[in-house]
A and B are shown apart, each in its own frame.
Chain A
Amino acid sequence: NAGVTQTPKFQVLKTGQSMTLQCAQDMNHEYMSWYRQDPGMGLRLIHYSVGAGITDQGEVPNGYNVSRSTTEDFPLRLLSAAPSQTSVYFCASGRGSGRPDTQYFGPGTRLTVL
């Protein structure tokens, strides 16, 4: 199993550009989520999904869109990039066991917005 994969590893954008961060998992996990990690802020939840076709907002959703058309994929879209979105982005997945359980993290995408 590849686990959770994220592409790209690094990305530089200009203010106002749009892009999609890709996330895929091959563990048949129901739950997937996106976090951003900033120095001194820990991990902050952006959006999450508890199954195909179901998404919800986390703590910091503004400026980001998600969709979940398949169990495997959970892309994160930046509609109009801003310097405040410079961060490291992590995707995670977990079993839909009805309770908080182990999350499996991807290697991250380091995004810089100029």
Chain B
Amino acid sequence: AQSVTQPDIHITVSEGASLELRCNYSYGATPYLFWYVQSPGQGLQLLLKYFSGDTLVQGIKGFEAEFKRSQSSFNLRKPSVHWSDAAEYFCAVGARGSYIPTFGRGTSLIVHP
């Protein structure tokens, strides 16, 4: 079975600073990888996903993520954070033959002005 770990429960950054949120997965084959964002009081929205091909994936809102097989990681990055990026971020991993991704516990992003 697949699993995903988000090592950071909270991350605090200043507005305009760069951001990297960590995600490590466990799965024996090439995984399906996702990042979702949850704004306060809202449901989750897909930021980006990786299935195959180019390991650097571009998403919405200026986010990108890089799949590194050797490190079993799929870290989310943004070069310059905006106050509106304050939210909860979830990494998810899916396995071939299953509809069901497994979600990490989430990382809460706090943005200081």
A, B in one complex: yes
With A99-B94, A100-B94 already in contact, the answer to whether A4 and B43 are too (CB < 8 A) is yes
A48 at the interface (CB under 8 A from B): yes
With A105-B43, A105-B44, A107-B42 already in contact, the answer to whether A100 and B101 are too (CB < 8 A) is yes
A13 shortest CB reach to chain B, Å: 21
B46 at the interface (CB under 8 A from A): yes
B14-22, B68-76, B79-87, B102-110: which lies at the A interface?
B102-110
CA distance A108 to B88 in the complex (A): 15
- CB pair B99–A48 under 8 Å, yes or no, is yes
- CB pair B99–A42 under 8 Å, yes or no, is no
Q: Could you say which residues of chain B place their CB within 8 Å of the CB of A99?
A: 32, 51, 94, 96-99
Per-position binary interface string of chain A over residues 72-114, scored 1 when its CB falls under 8 Å from any chain B CB and 0 otherwise? 0000000000000000001010101011111101111000000
- CB pair A43–B90 under 8 Å, yes or no, is yes
A19 shortest CB reach to chain B, Å: 20
CA distance A48 to B102 in the complex (A): 13
- CB pair B105–A42 under 8 Å, yes or no, is yes
CA distance A7 to B29 in the complex (A): 39
Q: Could you say which residues of chain A place their CB within 8 Å of the CB of B9?
A: 40
- CB pair B44–A100 under 8 Å, yes or no, is no
- CB pair A90–B43 under 8 Å, yes or no, is yes
